[in-house]
Chain A
Amino acid sequence: MLQKSFKNPLVLSIILGLALFACKKESIDTEDENELITSVKLNFTTNGSTQTFAYSDPDGDGGKTPTVSTISLKPNTTYTMTIEILDESKTPVNNITNEVANEKDEHLFIYTPTPSSLLTYTYGDKDSRNFNVGLTGSVRTGAAGTGQLKVQLRHQPPVNGTPSKNGSTSPGSDDVNIDFNVTIQ
């Protein structure tokens, strides 16, 4: 009697236990992977000729040190400047510029030269609420000299349906925040 009852629940447990353990092989296959930006390219065009300067960090955050080209421009010249944002770790390369262009209402590029006399940036595009975007614009260089150009992409998504973009830097967070060395000669 005692023996029998001793066995019963244990057998039951083992059977139920096996039932618990029998499960299928799982996987996580996300179509939308964590977004990565590996490269930022600045294209300067004047008189039909285009120069491209890139910030490139192909292995993403950490790992190898990014390569940054020095922006080299002529003094007192007006350039048309466009920006490209890419994820070059994917094949084919994921062009994030298009995504930004589709969501102009929640993105803002900011170009900050140091010293400020280095160059002047003028926005060349607006979003649906007439705020600047900065995918395209013009750069007027100053006198010969050296300095830095900070390029920021502010992602300013709406908060519970209310747009947060208001033309200023403050809302949202940086998706890009890099510094290029600039030589004007």
Chain B
Amino acid sequence: MKKTLFLNIILLFLGTKVFAQTPKDCDCFIQGIVQDGVTKQPIVGAVVLIKELNKGVSTDAKGFYRIANICQGKYTVIGRIVGYEEKTYTINLEHGAEQNIKLSETELHLANIDIKAQKIENLTQNKTSLENAALDQTRGQSLGEALKQISGVTTLQTGSSIAKPVIHGMHSNRVLIMNNGVRQEGQQWGSEHAPEIDPFVAKKITVLKGAAGVRYGSDAIAGVIMLEPDALPDSTVLKGEINSVYFTNGRQTVNSGIIEGGFINSNSKKASKIPYAIGYRVQGTYKRGGDISTPNYRLANTGIEEVNYSLSANYKRKNWASDVFFSQFNTQIAVFSGSHIGNVSDLIEAIKRGSPLPIYTPETFTYNIGRPYQDVLHNLLKIKNTVKNRSGVLSLTLGRQYDFRKEIDILRGDKNLAQLFKLNTYTGELLFEHKPLLKVLSGSVGINSLYQENLTTGTLTEPRSSTVLIPNFQNFTSGVFIIERIVRKQWEIEGGFRYDFRHLNVYRIPRGEQNTINNQRNNQNFTGTVGVNFRPNARWNFLTNISTAWRAATVNELYSDGVHHGAASFERGNENLNPEKALNTSFTVNYVSQIFEAEFHLYNNFINNYIFLSPTGRPALTIRGAFPEFLYTQTKALFQGFDLTTTLQVIKKISLNSKLSYLKAQDLSHVQPLIQIPANRIENTLRFDHKKTTISLTNLYVAKQNRVPTRIIFTDIPNSEIVFNEYGGDFAPPPSAYTLWNAAISRQFAIKKTSSLNVSMTVSNLLNTTYRDYLNRFRYYADEIGRNIVFRAKYSF
């Protein structure tokens, strides 16, 4: 999996000659050494920049830098090193009245900050991370909800508790999630199946937008989401963190804790003994929430309960390291009772009614989780070993995931089980990162493999039932890849390619038949990437990248055949689907100056054989009534758009952050827009920072999605058979545009030297606005969540 190189920049903040008579002291300086944490080699030519002053210097031959003549104040220090991730730190060079001039310089202003920057694996693609304060602001939310902070990322929702991340209009199997270096394998094909991940495991969540097939797996057509914990400690100090969150809406409480520490055996006594270090971490989360409320009514059966924990440990020697990680995710999510839809006439009745019946909007609040509900268990075990030698770094990562999903429906006679899915996945990756060849060419080669078995009925080869949503299957994929890059002073060129093979073995009983059928499919393909990063000076950075990715049809796309409850649709798979292939071109510009920061990301994602579910307009008659029929089909699709993020320092202490996302997704073959594409949106945040207090006010405007399909695309269906054609096969027109206001206040308190307390209060949907979102499956019959006041406390020690 990912090989992380830690880069330590040691910043020394030294304020000298603090004269009492000088009102503003401009004799402070910042200096330090930049070095690669693994090789301990100084890094020459790294740029260290003070954003507010637009003062920047490069490190010298010893990795040393010094920026002098700085006035006291609060500054943002940016470290930029080619080949490493950019790092931003906020420092306070403020002299409080209590500071004593007689203190020696070092006592007064010396500060050591270890900047842990990860070596970037993909340099020429757009990446955005949530960490530190930005991540803290999302604590308690689901992964999907948290990622909405990143422009270009939206969610596909089922009510307010089930949220799937959508990157540039695509989701589910097109978005790869790397959980701690292992690709997440759950039942991600389902639109109401949220990622089985506790975001508290991660200290940093990164979204890589665009096709990233070469490094992470050929199916990363829309992008990759990476969740990374902090590196395990290699000191004996016991550290920890406690997070508590309370949401007024749904009276949800979330508590999460981390404890970490280590042992060190240094070689001071016996020279012959090799020093080693052991680090460990224990983490756990408990979440419980009850029925949530929209501005006008409460929604029955919308509670949630979650119990998650993870354990990790590592063992490090001079040239090798072993890591073990285990996590378990357990959730029970109630599904709104009013969403249980029998057939299309039920759905149409619910749409006509406008709001749910009183029985589904009770006055009394409860934490009870009744039927229908989802019960999901996900285990991940990961073992990683890393060895360094003269020629590079070799690592082997093995993972096992077990995903057990139960969907419990409302059945007669207290019958229990509706749909069960058991998925076992084994992953392995062997990666070799070689040292620079000819001093300019660095890169890595790797092999990854995956084997999985899915069970929904009987045993693997002997299914018992034909009424399952997806059949039993075995899936084997394996790929080899190479990525190389040339780094020059201002230029960086990256290229790579990958070959993948996939074997799918399906055991199923076709509907109405008795005997098991075995279907086998093989797919293979190449993917490639090429990109350039140009950094003419400290202010500007340009990235451009062309990448391909491909994805073989998944079992639900191939073999679905039945009613999808809640969606009130009859979905049929198509055995003849070809793999879809994406060609993604992107261009990103970054600009940083004293008062203005901007990132503009432009993309063009062309997908041949794009697989999607399209309405036929025909009713499928069942004993439960008529259901509109949907077929999995393929087309040429084009996703074009841009994300723009800017931050303007209006005046000292006040800044304005704006995020704009625009996306146009077109079905090229049928010359009409694609269905279920997130609407364009703009978000503006006005922020006031004073010492350790931050106050912000956010306005989000989401436009109406006017680009929706207008007609049925299947030309072989006679017009006389088409019944549901009013909204191009949809059941209702897209909801209107909406505006939401959010407000937040947070403050940090230092307690002793090593511990701190952060508290914040956030109000989302401040004005209790009634609205519906196009990408919420409940939009047909219920409003979105109303005002929600969130209290957060984080105690670090």
Using a CB–CB distance below 8 Å, which chain A residues touch chain B?
A: 2, 5-6, 8-10, 12-13, 16-17, 20-21, 23, 25-40, 55, 57-66, 96, 99-100, 102-103, 155, 157, 159-162, 164, 166, 170-178
Is the beta-carbon distance between A32 and B415 smaller than 8 angstroms?
yes
Q: Which of A64, A159, A177 contacts B360 (CB 8 A)?
A: A159
Q: Does B202 contact A (CB under 8 A)?
A: no
Q: Which residue of B lies closest to A174 (CB)?
A: B342
Given known pairs A13-B383, A20-B426, A99-B412, the reply for A177 and B362 (CB within 8 Å) is no
Q: Complex: how many Å from CA A155 to CA B420?
A: 23
Given known pairs A99-B412, A174-B625, the reply for A58 and B512 (CB within 8 Å) is yes
Which residues of B sit under 8 angstroms from A155, Cβ to Cβ?
342, 410, 412
Is the beta-carbon distance between A99 and B625 smaller than 8 angstroms?
no
Is the beta-carbon distance between A26 and B623 smaller than 8 angstroms?
no
List 5 A-B residue pairs with CB atoms under 8 Å apart, sorted by A's residue number.
A17-B428, A28-B458, A35-B412, A173-B340, A174-B625
Q: Does B335 contact A (CB under 8 A)?
A: no
Minimum Cβ distance to chain A for residue B733 (Å): 23
Q: Which residue of A lies closest to B317 (CB)?
A: A5
B contacts with A, residue count (CB < 8 A): 77
Is the beta-carbon distance between A30 and B417 smaller than 8 angstroms?
yes
Q: Does B381 contact A (CB under 8 A)?
A: yes
Using a CB–CB distance below 8 Å, which chain B residues touch chain A?
A: 300-301, 317-322, 337, 340-343, 345-346, 349, 353, 357, 359-360, 362, 366, 368, 370-371, 381, 383, 385-387, 389-390, 394, 396, 398, 400, 410-413, 415-420, 422, 424, 426, 428, 453, 455-460, 464-468, 511-512, 561-563, 570, 572, 620-627
Is the beta-carbon distance between A26 and B459 smaller than 8 angstroms?
yes
Which residues of A sit under 8 angstroms from B370, Cβ to Cβ?
159-161
Is the beta-carbon distance between B412 and A6 smaller than 8 angstroms?
no
Minimum Cβ distance to chain A for residue B302 (Å): 11
Q: Which residue of B lies closest to A33 (CB)?
A: B465
Q: Complex: how many Å from CA A145 to CA B424?
A: 61
Q: Complex: how many Å from CA A102 to CA B413?
A: 8
Is the beta-carbon distance between A159 and B359 smaller than 8 angstroms?
yes
Which residues of A sit under 8 angstroms from B467, Cβ to Cβ?
33-34, 36, 60
Q: Complex: how many Å from CA A58 to CA B512?
A: 8
Minimum Cβ distance to chain A for residue B481 (Å): 20
Q: Complex: how many Å from CA A63 to CA B300?
A: 36
Is the beta-carbon distance between B458 and A174 smaller than 8 angstroms?
no
Which residues of B sit under 8 angstroms from A12, Cβ to Cβ?
322, 385
Which residues of A sit under 8 angstroms from B468, Cβ to Cβ?
34
Is the beta-carbon distance between A55 and B623 smaller than 8 angstroms?
yes
Q: Which residue of B lies closest to A89 (CB)?
A: B512
Minimum Cβ distance to chain A for residue B116 (Å): 23
Q: Which of A13, A55, A62 contacts B385 (CB 8 A)?
A: A13
Q: Which residue of A lies closest to B416 (CB)?
A: A32
Minimum Cβ distance to chain A for residue B757 (Å): 38
Is the beta-carbon distance between B622 and A57 smaller than 8 angstroms?
yes
Which residues of A sit under 8 angstroms from B458, Cβ to Cβ?
27-29
Which residues of B sit under 8 angstroms from A58, Cβ to Cβ?
512
Which residues of B sit under 8 angstroms from A159, Cβ to Cβ?
300-301, 337, 359-360, 362, 370
Is the beta-carbon distance between B410 and A170 smaller than 8 angstroms?
no
Is the beta-carbon distance between A157 and B418 smaller than 8 angstroms?
no
Minimum Cβ distance to chain A for residue B131 (Å): 29
Is the beta-carbon distance between A60 and B512 smaller than 8 angstroms?
yes
Given known pairs A58-B512, A61-B563, the reply for A170 and B357 (CB within 8 Å) is yes
Q: Which residue of A lies closest to B366 (CB)?
A: A160
Q: Complex: how many Å from CA A23 to CA B389?
A: 35
Is the beta-carbon distance between A173 and B346 smaller than 8 angstroms?
yes
Is the beta-carbon distance between B398 and A20 smaller than 8 angstroms?
yes
Is the beta-carbon distance between B424 and A175 smaller than 8 angstroms?
no
Minimum Cβ distance to chain A for residue B31 (Å): 37
Q: Which residue of B lies closest to A36 (CB)?
A: B467
Is the beta-carbon distance between B343 and A174 smaller than 8 angstroms?
yes
Q: Which residue of A lies closest to B402 (CB)?
A: A23
Q: Complex: how many Å from CA A59 to CA B513?
A: 8
Q: Complex: how many Å from CA A6 to CA B411?
A: 58
